[in-house]
Structure 1
Amino acid sequence: MTTPPADDPADSQAGAALPEVRVVRKRAATVQFTQTILVLEAFVVLFATLVAFGLRVAPSSTIWTTGGVLTVTLLILSGLMGRPGGYVVGSVVQVVVLASGLVVTAMIVIGGVFAALWVVALRLGGRIDRERAEWDAAHPGQVSA
């Protein structure tokens, strides 16, 4: 490795203006957590639909319609997080996913895991958001890490 000479104009930053720093406000942790859970849950519901179709637990049209509607609902709902009523509707959908365990038994366990993750996301995300707000109030004009 060679070092460039000290008088190299590329290394001279004395007269160069620093780039403008743009501060981007962090998104709410609750929104990020719940969106992630709903998108992952949509994939699981899609795979559960394939399982139900393979097991022939109901007519194919019923399986695909129900699974498709629930999958699309979860994906659309992930975009509604942070808006009024979004968390309530998300909680209702958790019950629907749990109820799908009546058709595909494994969904009782999987739905239970996602319901538990949903509760944790709401509680932990809320706590993180409160702590960020407290920090921002105590340190005006500074960017939180």
Structure 2
Amino acid sequence: MSSKDRPAPGDRIAPKKSALVQFTALTLQLEAFCVAFAAVALYGLRDSLYEKGPLAVSEPAAIWAVGGSLFVLLLVLSRLTSRPVGLAGGTIAQVPVIATGLVLPMMFLVAAVFVVMWAASLRIGARVDRERRAYDAEHPETAPNV
């Protein structure tokens, strides 16, 4: 990178994307793919002697319908995290992900990990954004252009 490409002292920089949006969107995207893999696992185990949860499902159409719907829902919500409805929807979407443990018991553990990741994304993302705003207020000469 040449010195022409670097900003000079005092140059204003472009605004950064919200950390809250980045963290929550990534968490929902990872969760969506985990749900998809859980659907594949459940499909593969549907006729085995594997001890299923209290809601044993062996109908492939039901597995793909629920797994696919939850996958799409999580991906759509990941694109909406810049709006309050996306964050609220992401929080509510944790409930059906936890409920997948009723069909595939190991999903209780996986869902618990994602619930913790979601809470951490909300808290840490908001804190990073707050600290960025405070820094920009203290250093207006380098604050992003808005």
TM-score, reference length from structure 1: 0.82
Q: Does 1:54 pair with 2:36?
A: no
User: Please, which of 1, 18, 31 is the counterpart of residue 28 of structure 1?
Assistant: 18
Partner residue in 2 for 1:129: 129
Identity of aligned residues (%): 45
What stretches of structure 1 move > 4 A for 4+ residues in a row?
18-22
Contact 2:98 2:112 in 1 (8 A): yes
Q: RCO higher in 1 or 2 (8 Å CA, sep ≥ 6)?
A: 2
Partner SS state of residue 110, structure 1: helix
Higher alpha-carbon Rg: 1
Contact 2:97 2:111 in 1 (8 A): yes
Q: Does 1:74 pair with 2:64?
A: no
CA-to-aligned-CA distance 1:32-76 (integer Å, 9 cap, x gap): 001111111111000000111112133110000000010011111
Contact 2:36 2:68 in 1 (8 A): yes
Q: Quick one: which amino acid aligns to residue 64 of structure 1?
A: W
Task: Determine the C-alpha separation between the residues in 1 that align with 2:63 and 2:5.
Answer: 55
Q: Quick one: which amino acid aligns to residue 31 of structure 2?
A: E
Structure 2 vs 1, CA of residues 135 and 99 (structure 1 numbering), >3 Å: closer, same or farther? same
Contact 2:35 2:71 in 1 (8 A): yes
Partner SS state of residue 104, structure 1: coil
Partner SS state of residue 110, structure 2: helix
Q: Quick one: which amino acid aligns to residue 91 of structure 2?
A: S
Partner SS state of residue 83, structure 2: coil
Q: Quick one: which amino acid aligns to residue 41 of structure 1?
A: E
Per the TM alignment, residue 19 of structure 1 is displaced from its structure 2 partner at its CA by: 6.5
Aligned alpha-carbon RMSD (Å): 2.0
Task: Determine the C-alpha separation between the residues in 2 that align with 1:88 and 1:61.
Answer: 29
List gaps (5 residues or longer) in structure 2. 47-56
